[in-house]
Structure 1
Amino acid sequence: MTIIAPSRRALIAAGLTAPLAAPHVARAQTAYRGEYKMTVVGNRPIPFAEGAFKWAELVTERTSGRINVRTYPGSQLVGGDQTRELLAMRQGVIDFGVFSTINIAPQLREVGIFQLPFLMRDHRAFEALIRGVVGRDIFSVVERREIVPLAWGENGFREISNSKRTIRTPEDMRGLKIRFAAGAIFNEILTAMGANPVQMSFADLQPALSTGAVDGQENPINLFLALRMDTLAQKHLTVWNYVNDPLIFGLSRTVMNSFTPADQALVRDCAIEAGRYQIELTRRGLGLDGGDDASMRDLRTRGVEVTVLTDAEKEAFARITRPVYDRWAATIGAELVRKAEAAVR
């Protein structure tokens, strides 16, 4: 007699076996890596780096270590070359990052909007750009590169210092060897003023100032103070607000997509909180809106001659660099520049 085996469906209905297990979806959502790598230029106590450490710490703490983010300062994941961080994230070497818009502008031309000389004269103009349509457009550009931007930070307005003389007019720039980090536009801006621009990494800046290989540099005041540039012969500092350097808190799209929706929201909230904290650190002590001016007083206590340009004096620099502005506006995109100028107005 032929015995016909009951179908699997019949056995399941009779409760004699279990249905095939579903794919391990839940496990895939929670089987995170043991460590996620965060990159940032510089190190504590620089506000730029503090923002990255804060983001990593918030995410790690609020997930009880489920998403364990470790910060690698000094751009060490790319051998100290801060201009390679964006590419390294796209290649999977880096998971999280707090990026300077100056460092990523060579790969993302639209981000160069923030390097147009004297587009932003104060923090109100800066906020109008990053919090409005320009900021949203920039985030869209970043997203097309498989990176998820979550929050803005601020490295600060870049002021100029040197070991030779007071800078109050474009003529005072003539012949000075000035270090800049990256980006052909900075070479053109400094050249238009009659200076001799020298490109070098952040890691090489301090020894170059110590030996006199360069006469000066342009960086935010918080960085000047943290690195004690007054001890590196930088005795003349001019506050001219010629460009600001927004920071972007972002992570790899692949990494973001590997997190559960709840964890994605948590990572985003932590980035926004860290960004706000980082901006507060950057602006602390600058005497904005009549507030605390401890940083400015600290500069003078250290024997630094601080020259704050008037609007008319800034305009002289803006006029001489206008051809550079116009050339780069065409490269960045006329429509984006129009939006930026409208926001500033």
Structure 2
Amino acid sequence: MKRTAMMAAMLAAAMTVSFTGAVYAGETETSTEAATEADGAGEGTENIPGYGGFSAEDVKNASNVQPEIPEGATVLKLGTTVNENDSFQIAAVKFAQLVQDKTNGKYAIEIHPNGDLGGERDMLESMQMDTLDMGIVTSGPFVNFSQDMGVLDMPFLFADNAQAYAVFDGKVGRELLDTLESSNLKGLAYAERGFRNLTNSKKAVHSADDVKGLKIRVMENDVYTAAFKALGADAVPMNWNDTLTALQQGTVDGEENPINVINSYKLWESQKYATLDRHSYSSAIITMSLDKFNELDADTQKIFLDSAQEAAEFERAWTAAQEKDQLQAMKDNGMEVDENPDMESFKKAVQPVYDQYSQYADYVQKINDVIKDVQ
């Protein structure tokens, strides 16, 4: 009994240290100011790890048009739930072009946006059953296929993009992707959805208390649901295809997504208020059916992995280059944007989520061991 009590106390202490370490990294030069510089203007990204050496100029004219499929190519279908203006489309097109070029036209990727092949969880289940070849899927639904992946959705885990990239592009990120193989999925690389922010149609939100009572759509993910319940919201898990209608009809008051999503879907048409609380960093995982991946020879497997990583880094740079103008577009279209909310109130409110999900303690510690050295 004493040993059990001691272990429980050590675990609670580790979770508290990890959580405050991630959250209060905002007090160092690596967080808020640096994140704004990297995410906002997109300038100088060629010198920042995680952007693949791509500059704002490199990605300015990125294509969102699927490359023409060469005759005789083996065609793989890739699905997304987003429209052609979204960053996922940029990643998909870049990935498709790289695979086609590097395999000399032997393989081609046919892109299906707009949820044509189903919602995100639907697509993952299709890949699991080998009835869909590939997809780019927001990180949230992956916890349904690998419990360990849920650690990436813990609130305020990363202070800035540099910390996230250090984890995703390193040993810990690959280790997490490899856990998907037990569900017959192959994670290729982490593209970017971005830091998620709260929007709603009812009132300005500056502190955690302001969230209370709001009906907020969240991804179909228990951690997101728990985080918003901790804030006092009525959290409603819902797939993205249904969310736009729910926002327009007022079935839900708000949602939470990165700036690029708010823009690509013109959420100002239903959402008056935005709060840049950056409560969670959401990746976009380029994913493949494990059965389909295993059908490829070793050299082609490497081409797919390398192409996915390059496409992910290209898309990250593209997202960074867009964000400053996207934020201005939100304001120009009538959204009231709180760029400096009371972060301490949010962080304090979600502390119980770390206690509730103590099964992630080991991975939280691994992540903090990586990000503590990120400058």
TM-score class, shorter-chain normalisation, is 0.7 to 0.9
Aligned to 1:24: none
Is 1:294 aligned with 2:359?
no
Structure 2 residue corresponding to 1:197, chosen from 235, 238, 245? 235
Matches within 5 A, 1:138-217: 138-217=176-255
Structure 1 residue corresponding to 2:283, chosen from 246, 254, 266? 246
Shift of 1:181: 1.9
Structure 2 residue corresponding to 1:219, chosen from 257, 260, 276? 257
Sort the Cα spacing of 1:127 and 1:268 in 2 relative to 1 into closer, same or farther, 3 A: closer
In structure 2, the residue corresponding to 1:248 is in which secondary structure? strand
Percent identical among aligned pairs is 28
Is 1:269 aligned with 2:310?
no
Matches within 5 A, 1:126-137: 126-137=164-175
In structure 2, the residue corresponding to 1:45 is in which secondary structure? coil
Aligned to 2:294: 257
TM-score for the superposition, normalised by structure 1: 0.81
Matches within 5 A, 1:1-345: 34-77=74-117, 80-232=118-270, 234-286=271-323, 293-309=324-340, 313-328=342-357, 330-331=358-359, 333-345=360-372
Shift of 1:34: 4.2
Relative contact order (alpha carbons < 8 A, sep ≥ 6): 1 or 2 greater? 2
Q: Which runs of 5+ in 2 are unaligned?
A: 1-71
1:90-135: CA deviation from partner (whole Å, max 9, x where unpaired): 2111112222210211221111111111111221222232133321
TM-score for the superposition, normalised by structure 2: 0.75
- Would you say the 8 A contact 2:126–2:132 is kept in 1? yes
Shift of 1:281: 2.4
1:278-300: CA deviation from partner (whole Å, max 9, x where unpaired): 112222233xxxxxx22222222
Q: Which runs of 5+ in 1 are unaligned?
A: 1-31, 287-292
1:78-100: CA deviation from partner (whole Å, max 9, x where unpaired): xx331132221121111122222
CA distance in 2, matches of 1:248, 1:207: 25
Alpha-carbon RMSD across the aligned residues, in angstroms, is 2.0
1:252-284: CA deviation from partner (whole Å, max 9, x where unpaired): 233223223333232223212211121122222
Aligned to 1:14: none
In structure 1, the residue corresponding to 2:107 is in which secondary structure? coil
- Would you say the 8 A contact 2:115–2:241 is kept in 1? no
Aligned to 1:17: none
Q: Which structure: larger Rg?
A: 1
